[in-house]
Structure 1
């Protein structure tokens, strides 16, 4: 009958050998230095693990739980961004919350912001506790300084990431709330399209006579995301209105006014001044301001609907005075300039050469434009026609769309959001932005933008347009005849 060998008594040396992180040989600087580096690395890679292995297990378990929860959320967000980007955006911004609870749409991103700040604070606590566990005075002389510096650097890196996430969440929440109306009703697509009036002008102080320099309509196919931009000449005359107060006032088409206060002529760009300076716009459109619009915008919507023959429920106004900031926030735009263009306010007298008044030039050829150059590219008109300027504005719009990739917007998010809220006004409702328009925008990235300019080159008489023909042209562009299959094939 055999007998079991006597068990080896558990001495302090045995404990040290089996659990060197929790019970190290404090008399060996080499062991303590190795242990210190391990704890610092573990704290950075898996916050909470250093405490579980060598310190307060309760604090460590809490840190590990928070870390695993964070990793789980990040993985789910990453999968959502790849597989369901529009739905993920809708959840993050609260756009999925019904309109009668719209005041709660700030909650999701606020929770993200609070969680990011809380995790950053927890990481700081864990790092300080890890340095306590390292016992720097027991490590090698050089290692004491190195471990402390590396710990601080890693803490700054991790804390900066958490701080950026918290700031991005807050910026997104505030920008979304500032830009898009919470109570505006979502209008279903009209004849298969979401149509948005796009206006551009300067809105600086003292601009009572401000007129829209750029007028176009963006039509987004509700199924495919295919985008068509229709440019309306700002001086288009005697246009009809869609049913409404302006049609009641001008049943036979806009006749305009002829005085210095209200503007000259009957061009569509005169409507802002006419409606808001020389008429009681609030009486004409009493519900405009409560819906996030203005009487001038509503009158221009009615004009654009009358011209194009389509329903246009929404608008986006871009303040060209601050437009350069958005281009700079995107890192500039790439455009091939067809002809040399002057910068500047124009000649002081008729016939003055551009060389005498230009403050600079945009040279022909490929250009990477900053915001200031892009702004002058869109506005320069004294050496070209208004129709040339319309084309350039459309080229610039397409260049900005091309530059607004998810990756670019994400890396420059803070600047883009700040610039956007400063220069953009719109009545687009939050409930339409996500997931609908976000999803369509992702689809549109894969397709070319179609442009339609209502200019003489397109067969439009600039002095006496045939509006019935214009509407036929718009319909043919938005709803091209389906290709018929060859019976012989």
Structure 2
């Protein structure tokens, strides 16, 4: 009877329903076996499709309908496996097993029950939470095609303060991604670029046809790239009447048009990260690994008074607060050094987004991300970009920094900038054997 009990427990775990077919209610057993084999079949089909067309599977499981369907299936199996396990415990007749084996069999059965049903239940919980999270961050809208084989995404690091009229982007870059290979290039845009041109058809560009502030100045204190956001958001929101309804804002749209004028690229999407909450996202990810090349102050002023601490050189695992100061610290280095550190931090955060990390820390990541990230990437494109992002992580990220001496921010040659970017994004020449 002890051997019989062990066999039934193992069979219930390996092939739920088989224990009932062999030693109990065969009708219940057939139902359990049918449910188990159906799930196995679905898993095999999904795995085969993923190997051939990964974007299809990822699109399904990043859509609201797909996530709720997955949650319903997982909840159904959690209940089914719980009932089958409880029924198996009644079939093994613990009272007739060897006295020493009884508590071991009971404990082992309980652990397996909690493992299987708990995993399925947690999966259902994650699926429903993910559906709400994705719907709150990503928009429901049409997808944009690649242009010249690339997706170009404007990345803004916003910094809102009590002394500022709304949020102002202190970090600006364009991430250009090859739509086939996933090869990515980061184009860092200095926030102090002057005489910024706008793309053709720009609403704000019609007011500044020779470049931002080139003729009679602008409507804010400094006529630089990052001031465009403030002017459109605070002074001229009527220039972009549809921005909010389309998941954006006047400031973002004006900055997008400026970034297009600077780079000569068509920018399909934007991502805005609120730096005030960025530390929470990094903490939710478990921190980031950064190699620091020079000592940086935390807090303080230009005279290094009231410095709260120092970020020391060397390899460091940073929490959210330290990482945010690493990106923002400016009193011992230049704006261009900050741009390099911000690009380094972006790459480090990207590396932290592994499937295992996201699943185990999902609640914290979802809670912080929904407060930190704003974007117009449609939810229907998530599967495609998730698949493309997996390719990007396997390749080195190249960088184009529009900084001195290559570019003079006070008198930039935008034709030269266009040539620099076109050269950096040009496909590698193919060699014939």
When the two structures are superposed, what TM-score results if normalisation uses the length of structure 2? 0.92
- Aligned mates of 1:189, 1:209 — CA distance in 2: 32
Aligned to 2:113: 155
Equivalent residues of 2:160, 2:166 under 8 A apart: no
Q: What is the root-mean-square deviation of aligned Cα atoms in Å?
A: 2.4
Q: Distance in 2 between matches of 1:212 and 1:393?
A: 13
- For structure 1, the residue ranges without an aligned partner over 5 or more in a row are 1-30, 95-105
Equivalent pair of 1:120/1:162 in contact (CA under 8 Å): yes
- Does residue 128 in structure 1 map to residue 86 in structure 2? yes
- Which of 390, 405, 416 aligns to 2:339? It is 390
| Greater RCO structure (CA 8 Å; 6+ sep) | 2
Q: Is the 8 A contact 1:50 1:60 kept in 2?
A: yes
Structure 1 contact 209–263 (Cα < 8 Å) conserved: no
Q: Distance in 2 between matches of 1:155 and 1:239?
A: 63
Q: Would the aligned equivalents of 2:182 and 2:388 in 1 still touch at CA under 8 Å? A: yes
Per the alignment, in what secondary structure is the counterpart of residue 10 of structure 2? helix
Instruction: Check conservation: 2:247, 2:376, Cα contact below 8 A.
Output: yes
When Rg is computed on C-alpha atoms for both structures, the one with the higher figure is 1
Kindly report which structure 2 residues correspond to 1:128-207, keeping only aligned pairs within 5 A, or say none: 128-183=86-141, 185-203=142-160
Q: 1:141 to 1:482 in 2, by over 3 A?
A: closer
Structure 1 residue aligned with 2:320? 371
Query: Where do 5+ consecutive residues of structure 2 fail to align?
Result: none
The answer on 1:40 being equivalent to 2:9 is yes
- Out of 213, 238, 241, the position equivalent to 1:286 is 241
Q: Could you tell me how far apart the structure 2 residues matched to 1:276 and 1:57 are?
A: 68
Q: Which moved more, 1:58-67 or 1:319-328?
A: 319-328
Secondary structure in structure 2 of the residue aligned to 1:229: strand
Q: Counterpart of 1:478?
A: 425
| CA pair 129-484 structure 1, distance change in 2 beyond 3 A | closer
Task: Indicate conservation of the 8 Å contact 2:327/2:341, yes or no.
Answer: yes
Structure 1 position 410, deviation (Å)? 4.3
CA deviations 1:292-339 (Å, max 9, x no partner) are: 110110010111111112211310001111212322333322221110
1:361 aligns with 2:310: yes
Distance 2:319 2:81 in 1: 40
**Following TM superposition, by how much is the alpha carbon of 1:203 offset from its aligned partner in structure 2, in angstroms?**
4.4
Q: In the comparison of the two structures, how many residue pairs are matched? A: 431
1:424 and 2:373 are equivalent in the alignment? yes
Residues 258 and 264 of structure 1 are in contact (CA less than 8 Å); yes or no, is this contact kept in structure 2? no
1:240 matched residue in structure 2: 197
Corresponding position of 2:386: 438
Q: Is the 8 A contact 1:237 1:267 kept in 2?
A: yes
Counterpart in 2 of 1:211? 168
Length-normalised TM-score, structure 1: 0.82
Deviation digits for residues 178-236 of structure 1 (CA, Å, limit 9, x no counterpart): 222112x2222222221111001234788534210100011111232211111111111
